[in-house]
Structure 1
């Protein structure tokens, strides 16, 4: 009998609707395999709902049509109801005590067992709480009805919360889409302003060069005319002409040497910080001219590094190597008047016949000469002077596209970018804190921590 009861329970679970908790009435089966009463599913898929989903597994559906009645499941439900009724009738004869042949009229709360009047007098149940069957059943029915009511309320509240969450999701999606659209619009405006500033500076630079060229042409014509003058006519103005000629020649260096232009890009460094990596220096990669700190975060030129040394580059290579993804790191060069930054790769896809050394390294070099600071690239055409030294340089590497870019972190502006470098194997960052200048004891070149940030107010307060 226990096996039959177990089978009946399993059958009941298969022919019971999970929405109304009763036997199926016109059962329908949806694509995910779950079945419900036709009326229950129709009520669940209420008109106007933003999305339809299975009430049990929450799988989404686009089709709003209710499926046809599952005839096989309907017949199985009727069979199960009939079988349950027959089993219930067959167990009515079991409603009396086998030992005392009396009806079960009492119920033991501790053992959860039906008892006859004689059973409750036995020592086994004498100290237990005994209640009449009808009273105990009524109490449990009340408690179960209360729980069912609570569950119904909770289910209704959850459905409202789910609908609210769906509305909020749509609402926030629209808000974020609008915010990104505004950001794009603001960036477009900033781009147009930046391009206009570039055009104005370009025109001003061209005007200066044109004026300088005109001065040279006027001077050359005057000198040519002077060469045909008689000696006595030449001498009175010769000294003044010579002075003006020297002044024009002295201005030539400033006129033809371009200045590194700074065009700040809002949010640039914040965006690059998403790809920030933590680097450490490899002390085995350097020599006696450069020392590496104990924490492997800074490098410093030693006193025995002679300025007149033929090899002016003594690099330190990072321990980390990169062969994929996007990487960004920052280097503090505040205490180093001359320095070198870049990447090193042992092999490229296409070999170059000339300058093989520079074909394996891509560098940004800061040089101090004639009282000014100059930035140069190797390889590359950059050779521009700066208004002053850079406090911090950002380096961005994108392996897949072969991109290497250098940034002025303080100004949030681009310095120079290498394009389409043909990487084939991993690359390593490279650093060089020198060569040192005569009579100056330089400080270290330091790798900035991942969580460190630099702004104009912080730098001005140093």
Structure 2
């Protein structure tokens, strides 16, 4: 049996194509004596070998025509196929691990080899079963067909690669187009910046001019009063009523202590940019107390019934809720709906940090906040520990907070108007930063509203 197997193996080596390593198919023989499949030799020459040269030894045939079909070698190939099939049936291996029988069939559905006993099992009754020789032949054809497709794709791709330097038609330079769009956006922003700064400068000049004109009017009124006091009695009394009326009108226009007004200067696209750094902030459940109530989803909070503001100092009425999240690097943005709370505070908490103003560290602080306080018919917006103290007639319903840890900056934005409320001076962060919220103090006699994080 071993001798027979050796004979079969030697025969298989002689009738196997050097290129595809399978049985010859329409075998041809070169002048040098090396044999190949007709299709394999044809493809070899097409891919890159010199026509009429042997793919094995590279010898060039003297006869410049395709080698003739070798009928005898084809017959030997058929004989070996039959011998291989019989040897497969009679060999000990491979065998079915379940029934210990020689594999004879191939299951097309499950793509596995089967013995005769396996074919009779219920799970294979409705499956298409093919003899191993037939299945092998069919799949060799499929592989050859697939190889033909892959070779064709290879040739086409190689051709495209060789033409990469040849521009036969206009092409879209997306890099240049996108760079142009960013340049155009930059130009728009610079133009908008210029207009915004021009408007700010004009408003400042208008206020200064108004005060200058009023000073001039006061000086003129003072001079007129002085001159009238020196007039004769009849002249004095004759013009007295009109003079006093004009003087009273001037006095009524005299500006009192000026409280700066918080103005809106929209910055196009700024909120869209910040949204790229938006984080999901939730309040820590331990923040709930007799002063602050936390919602189940940890996204909303309100002043609890125990929060009373009568007979308390201004600082003592602030009670805070802290976020679960902490930050030690990166950029982060979150928004807070404060439309239902007329008074509130929000910002960040960081231990062991310092603020820098005009290049000099000035104070140590643990909280950096923006506050809103209701004052009669207007709202006061204040920063802590900085110097913002501006008034605004209408409330701000939604506030965005942008934190940049590396530069130590915190920005507060009016989300709906896309305008800056305030920027805290650079902070020297040394440890983690945690968002902080205060949904009050509630106004006496009013129902507590909800502060919600987005």
What TM bracket, shorter-length normalisation? Answer: 0.5 to 0.7
The Cα shift of 1:247 comes to 1.3
Cα separation, 1, equivalents of 2:271 and 2:392: 20
**What RMSD over aligned residues (CA atoms) do the two structures have, in Å?**
5.2
Cα separation, 1, equivalents of 2:320 and 2:391: 23
Residue in 2 that maps onto 1:117? none
Residue in 1 that maps onto 2:286? 284
Kept after mapping to 2: 8 A contact 1:333/1:339: yes
Residue in 1 that maps onto 2:252? 247
Which structure 2 residues correspond to residues 55-66 of structure 1 after superposition, within 5 A? none
Kept after mapping to 1: 8 A contact 2:354/2:363: no
The Cα shift of 1:278 comes to 0.8
Q: List gaps (5 residues or longer) in structure 1.
A: 14-19, 26-35, 41-76, 82-91, 97-102, 115-123, 449-462
Cα separation, 2, equivalents of 1:296 and 1:227: 73
Kept after mapping to 2: 8 A contact 1:396/1:404: yes
Q: 1:38 to 1:350 in 2, by over 3 A?
A: farther
Are residue 332 (structure 1) and residue 337 (structure 2) matched?
A: yes
Task: Give 1:348's match in structure 2, choosing from 349, 353, 356.
Answer: 353
The Cα shift of 1:200 comes to 2.4
The Cα shift of 1:307 comes to 4.0
Q: 1:288 to 1:214 in 2, by over 3 A?
A: farther
Kept after mapping to 1: 8 A contact 2:413/2:421: yes
Deviations 1:295-325 (A, max 9, x none): 2212212344224421121121112111110
Residue in 2 that maps onto 1:269? 271
Kept after mapping to 1: 8 A contact 2:355/2:426: no
The Cα shift of 1:333 comes to 0.8
The Cα shift of 1:399 comes to 0.2
Q: 1:425 to 1:238 in 2, by over 3 A?
A: same
Deviates more, 1:274-283 or 1:233-242: 233-242
The Cα shift of 1:187 comes to 2.1
The Cα shift of 1:339 comes to 1.2
Residue in 2 that maps onto 1:184? 186
Deviations 1:31-66 (A, max 9, x none): xxxxx97999xxxxxxxxxxxxxxxxxxxxxxxxxx
The Cα shift of 1:261 comes to 2.2
Which structure 2 residues correspond to residues 122-271 of structure 1 after superposition, within 5 A? 148-159=147-158, 171-219=173-221, 233=236, 236=241, 240=245, 243-244=248-249, 246-249=251-254, 251-253=255-257, 256-271=258-273
Residue in 2 that maps onto 1:305? 308
Task: Report the secondary structure of 1:184's partner residue.
Answer: helix
The Cα shift of 1:246 comes to 4.8
Which structure 2 residues correspond to residues 392-403 of structure 1 after superposition, within 5 A? 392-403=398-409
Q: 1:444 to 1:144 in 2, by over 3 A?
A: closer
Cα separation, 2, equivalents of 1:198 and 1:350: 27
Deviations 1:183-220 (A, max 9, x none): 22222222222232223223223222323333444455
The Cα shift of 1:433 comes to 1.7
Residue in 2 that maps onto 1:411? 417
TM-score normalised by structure 1 residue count: 0.62
Cα separation, 2, equivalents of 1:112 and 1:158: 44
Cα separation, 2, equivalents of 1:165 and 1:267: 40
- Larger-gyration structure (1/2): 2
Cα separation, 1, equivalents of 2:340 and 2:160: 59
The alignment covers a number of residue pairs equal to 361
The Cα shift of 1:111 comes to 3.7
TM-score normalised by structure 2 residue count: 0.63
Residue in 2 that maps onto 1:74? none
Cα separation, 2, equivalents of 1:360 and 1:3: 87
Residue in 1 that maps onto 2:380? 374
Cα separation, 1, equivalents of 2:249 and 2:292: 48
Are residue 315 (structure 1) and residue 320 (structure 2) matched?
A: yes
Kept after mapping to 2: 8 A contact 1:403/1:418: yes
Are residue 443 (structure 1) and residue 449 (structure 2) matched?
A: yes
Kept after mapping to 2: 8 A contact 1:283/1:291: no
Cα separation, 2, equivalents of 1:434 and 1:336: 7
Residue in 2 that maps onto 1:385? 391
Cα separation, 2, equivalents of 1:3 and 1:218: 126
Kept after mapping to 1: 8 A contact 2:12/2:80: no
Cα separation, 2, equivalents of 1:406 and 1:432: 15
